[in-house]
Copies of this chain bind each other. A is one copy, B any other.
Amino acid sequence: MATATHTTPDRVTFERSPDSYKHWKLAFDGPVATLSMDVQEDAGLSPDYRLKLNSYDLGVDIELADAIQRIRFEHPEVHCVLITSMKERIFCAGANIFMLRGSTHNWKVNFCKFTNETRLAMEDASEHSGITFIAALNGICAGGGYELALACDEIILVDDGNSAVSLPETPLLGVLPGTGGLTRVVDKRKVRRDLADFFGTIAEGVRGKRAVEWRLVDAVYPTSQFKERVAKRARELAAQSDRPASGSGIVLGPLNAQVSDDALKYSAVTLDIDRARRVATLTVSAPTDEQPDTPEGILAAGDRFWPLRAFRELDDAVLHLRLNEPLIGTVVLKTVGDASAVLAVDDTLLRHTDHWAVREIIHFMKRTLKRVDLTSRSFFALIEPGSCFAGSLFELAIAADRSYMKDDPDEPNAIALSGMNSGPLPMSNGLTRLQTRFLGTPERVDEVLAEKEPFDAQAAMDAGLVSFAPDELDWDDEVRLAVEGRAAFSPDALTGMEANLRFAGPETMETKIFGRLTAWQNWIFIRPNAVGEQGALTAYGTQKRPEFDFNRT
């Protein structure tokens, strides 16, 4: 269970570009983009499994995430995305079982987390960016394949007497659908729970009219009409978008990080790894060069515009930590530079939220901060003289599990808020981080937002904006003890504690997926009934039948 039986890459990278996609074809036809799955069996992240029948591993999903991201930024003219398959009679068989079986627990958990984030990014594009998604199921659609379809706005299934949608995890594998399937079936598509129960136990799935009647898909069409009806529906949905009809987008160039054994250095982000202490330091720098302040200027700056650049780098660094540095337990968050430069960029963004590109940048910042919230490492923000925890960067301080602000009269040190703290960057629970923080004193939210002056350490403590404000004499010891103490605790208990404390307040489909469903999935993923010698995941594809310990909790 604890050790992988197949080789994994030394370092997973998350940057992709369409010309190097191995598993997807991206085609454009006016306002409709078609993203076709065509998984190369022998091009998995590890050579030890074959990605048959459009089954996928993390590498396949990294390309999908890249494609969605590029459509949003590089193709403003795309208003609807068709997700389909190039393989005959097969849409997608779901996550590759042999990959799952041979993976460590933390790989499985992070694989599921990333795929969940990719699906949620599709729903985010639909809700906020005028891009709708249609799953055009041209063949069998099982497990994670159906979970991908569930993330689309509409699901159209071919009615060929054979193609079905299914969640065979429980009957075949003894695990749960790991990418939001159960939640989306009953909460998003609102399938009746008894029908969902039946559906979740039949490996062969449901097809044809019954799939429509049970709300599992939106429409079925015979093979002869399928493509035409799908295309028609895509044009209809595309016509409802508020995205521009034409014009150039923002091309997402390579990040060009300098990679060494213990650091990743980007243009505005640095990640320093201290494996001996199991601590990483993630530092974000304020812009140092002049930033555009009009939509035209932003389009001209493209991916060099600071917030897009810094948050892309931050996103990449967080993903790197999750997959490539599993032993790092604590992440110290720092910022450095001119706070007024950060606030000026915030101001530019807030003045142009109705421009499609600004909208995309803000939603991307939001998704990156959600990735931080959902990363199972402890985050401590250190607010020191010379830092710039202001506006959108202050979100990092309140995304952290705790913050420490140095209170030294000889060294000015301040934090500041902006309109970016009052709504544009909500958490998965639908609240802003300030609202979540001040759940018990909701009047505080408006009070701190009304304050136009920066907060020094004492003011920040009084306002409840930081956790602790040690003075210059205590600072070093207090911070050191906090970081060292954290590193000594059970990482599992910390993961569970953080997952429960970070998301107070309302639950959403998103928090349900990450909180409830993921937790149950994690539990099942380490139970002997799934991964033990006689477990169902172990037995799958062999001649052996699983043998269960039938004790119920």
Q: Please report A residues at the B interface, Cβ cutoff 8 Å.
A: 2, 104-106, 109-110, 169-171, 173-176, 182-183, 185-187, 189-198, 200-201, 215, 278, 326-329, 376-377, 400-403, 436-441, 464, 467, 485-487, 489-502, 504-507, 511-512, 515-517, 519-524, 526-530, 535-536, 546, 548-553
Query: Do B530 and A527 have beta carbons less than 8 Å apart?
Result: no
Given the contacts A193-B437, A197-B401, A500-B183, A553 and B495 also touching, CB distance less than 8 Å: yes
Q: How distant is A190 from chain B, measured CB to nearest CB, in Å? A: 3
In the bound assembly, the distance between CA atoms of A380 and B170 in angstroms comes to: 17
Q: How distant is A367 from chain B, measured CB to nearest CB, in Å? A: 20
Query: Do A197 and B501 have beta carbons less than 8 Å apart?
Result: yes
Instruction: Tell me the nearest residue of chain B to A325, going by C-beta.
Output: B552
Query: Do A505 and B192 have beta carbons less than 8 Å apart?
Result: no
Q: How distant is A314 from chain B, measured CB to nearest CB, in Å? A: 19
Apart from the given pairs A106-B553, A499-B520, 10 other A-B contacts in the complex at a CB distance below 8 Å: A170-B494, A174-B493, A190-B439, A190-B441, A200-B497, A490-B535, A492-B529, A500-B517, A512-B515, A523-B526
Query: Do A507 and B500 have beta carbons less than 8 Å apart?
Result: no
In the bound assembly, the distance between CA atoms of A14 and B526 in angstroms comes to: 32
Neighbour of A195 across the interface among B2, B327, B467, CB < 8 A: B467
In the bound assembly, the distance between CA atoms of A106 and B552 in angstroms comes to: 7
Given the contacts A174-B492, A536-B490, A546-B490, A376 and B553 also touching, CB distance less than 8 Å: yes
Given the contacts A175-B493, A197-B497, A192 and B437 also touching, CB distance less than 8 Å: yes
16 pairs, CB–CB < 8 Å, chain A vs chain B: A105-B553, A174-B492, A186-B439, A187-B504, A190-B439, A190-B441, A201-B485, A201-B486, A487-B550, A490-B546, A492-B529, A496-B520, A507-B516, A520-B522, A523-B523, A526-B527
Given the contacts A377-B552, A402-B198, A552-B106, A520 and B491 also touching, CB distance less than 8 Å: no
Query: Do A190 and B440 have beta carbons less than 8 Å apart?
Result: yes
Chain B residues with CB under 8 A of A515 = 512, 515-516, 519
Query: Do B498 and A2 have beta carbons less than 8 Å apart?
Result: no
Q: How distant is A515 from chain B, measured CB to nearest CB, in Å? A: 4
In the bound assembly, the distance between CA atoms of A173 and B441 in angstroms comes to: 32
Query: Do B516 and A499 have beta carbons less than 8 Å apart?
Result: yes
Query: Do B529 and A491 have beta carbons less than 8 Å apart?
Result: yes
Q: How distant is A95 from chain B, measured CB to nearest CB, in Å? A: 15
Neighbour of A182 across the interface among B105, B201, B441, B501, CB < 8 A: B501
Chain B residues with CB under 8 A of A192 = 437-440, 464
In the bound assembly, the distance between CA atoms of A350 and B112 in angstroms comes to: 48
Q: Which 3 A-B pairs have the closest CB atoms?
A: A190-B440, A519-B519, A507-B507
Instruction: Tell me the nearest residue of chain B to A507, going by C-beta.
Output: B507
Chain B residues with CB under 8 A of A170 = 489-490, 493-494, 497
Instruction: Tell me the nearest residue of chain B to A215, going by C-beta.
Output: B440
Instruction: Tell me the nearest residue of chain B to A551, going by C-beta.
Output: B326
Chain B residues with CB under 8 A of A402 = 194, 197-198
Query: Do B401 and A169 have beta carbons less than 8 Å apart?
Result: no
Query: Do B110 and A176 have beta carbons less than 8 Å apart?
Result: no
In the bound assembly, the distance between CA atoms of A118 and B395 in angstroms comes to: 39
Given the contacts A440-B192, A502-B193, A491 and B550 also touching, CB distance less than 8 Å: yes
Query: Do B439 and A200 have beta carbons less than 8 Å apart?
Result: no
Query: Do B401 and A194 have beta carbons less than 8 Å apart?
Result: yes
Q: How distant is A317 from chain B, measured CB to nearest CB, in Å? A: 15
Instruction: Tell me the nearest residue of chain B to A110, going by C-beta.
Output: B553
Q: Which of A376, A519, A523 neighbours the largest number of chain B CB atoms within 10 Å of its CB?
A: A523
In the bound assembly, the distance between CA atoms of A194 and B526 in angstroms comes to: 30
In the bound assembly, the distance between CA atoms of A185 and B500 in angstroms comes to: 10
Query: Do A496 and B467 have beta carbons less than 8 Å apart?
Result: no
Instruction: Tell me the nearest residue of chain B to A186, going by C-beta.
Output: B504
Query: Do B494 and A194 have beta carbons less than 8 Å apart?
Result: no
Chain B residues with CB under 8 A of A197 = 401-402, 467, 497-498, 501
